[in-house]
Amino acid sequence: MKYNTGRIELTGIIKSAVMFRQCIISTGLFLFTGMLCAQEKMLPDRWSANTAYLMSKNSWEIGIFQPFRYGVNGKVEIMANAVTIFLLPNAGLRISLGTAKGFVFASEHSISYPSLFLNIVSFKGTGGLISPQYDFPFMLSVSNSLLITKPLSASTFITASAGFSFAIRDYKPDYQATIDLPVFYPRMAHYYEGISLRTGFSIKGTLAKRFLYEENIRMFLITRESENLFLENSGNITWAVGKSVHLKGGYILSWGRYPYGNYLQLWPVIDIVFGSWERKPV
């Protein structure tokens, strides 16, 4: 009898703890949702990077690592990594495909010329990323992707993306002439062999009046027999310091199959973004 009584008391304690936890979670979700819905404007007006939303006409933004973006007419957006454009010429477009049943659709198309950059970093000593014994042919990298965004409230939404990248080249570069670093290698693997297929999912929302969070999961699959799978999880918090300046800090956790084996690494991320966003409260 004592054993049964103790078991009943323990069961009651567990049930109470579960109910208390559910109460706390429900209260937190209620307060969080209320905070999000209380925002004065839709989140995409300032935080549209990595989503199917385009920048409004004549709006622009640029970061040290985040690409330059310029809204042409609300339907088309011009993109380029302006900081590296002289080492790695590149340009792209994001095109609005409209909305349907609460979903926002857009496509991205970009082209770059990586041969110049790869030849520049092929030298011995500090800063050399590739052995100088290798050279690279004329090569163009072409990328296309589809983005689908679903608003969950006035200040939070999720985005799914899928796309592919391939290289147009005179001949295949030497398979050993690679930059074997996480983050870089998955995005350059198709230069050498195969097509890069990628998919991802992200969620973005506000933590407070001027703070935004973003979490991303990405997968890269290269159509070849080895060194062909890479996974990334990234997260960041962005602070709207002023009307035209955002500070961003976070991480990238990457895992992949590299020429030297499977590898997991954590990278810090920091960026500063300038822009001509609307002069309204976030």
In a domain, residue 92? The reply is: yes
Would residue 172 count as lying in a domain? yes
31 and 111 fall within a common domain: no
Structural domain that includes position 183: 39-275
pLDDT at 2 over 60: no
Q: Higher model confidence: residue 19 or residue 189?
A: 189
Same domain, 44 and 24: no
pLDDT at 74: 85
User: Which stretch of 1-10, 208-217, 250-259 has the lowest confidence by average pLDDT?
Assistant: 1-10
pLDDT number for residue 139: 97
Residue 281 included in any domain: no
Query: How many domains does the structure of the chain reveal?
Result: 2
Could you tell me which of 194, 199, 193, 190 has the C-alpha nearest to residue 163?
199
Rg for the chain, CA atoms, rounded: 23
In a shared domain, residues 28 and 56: no
Specify whether 34 is located in the same domain as 46: no
Q: Do 157 and 249 lie in a common domain?
A: yes
Residue 280 lies in a domain: no
Same domain, 157 and 252: yes
pLDDT at residue 89 greater than cutoff 70: yes
| Mean pLDDT of all residues in 24-52 | 55
Compute the C-alpha angle 145/147/152, nearest 5°. 165
Q: Mean per-residue pLDDT for 118-136?
A: 87
Quickly state the pLDDT bin for 278 (edges 50, 70, 90): low
- One domain, residues 20 and 82: no
Q: What is the pTM of this model?
A: 0.80
- Is there a single domain that holds both residue 181 and residue 137? yes
Are residues 4 and 81 part of one domain? no
Chain segment 134-171, per-residue pLDDT in tens: 989 999 999 999 999 999 988 889 999 999 999 999 99
Q: Same domain, yes or no, for 58 and 34?
A: no
Same-domain pairing of 122 and 6: no
For residue 44, name the pLDDT band (cuts at 50, 70, 90). Answer: low
The pLDDT tens digits of the residues spanning 180-200 come to 888 899 999 999 999 999 999
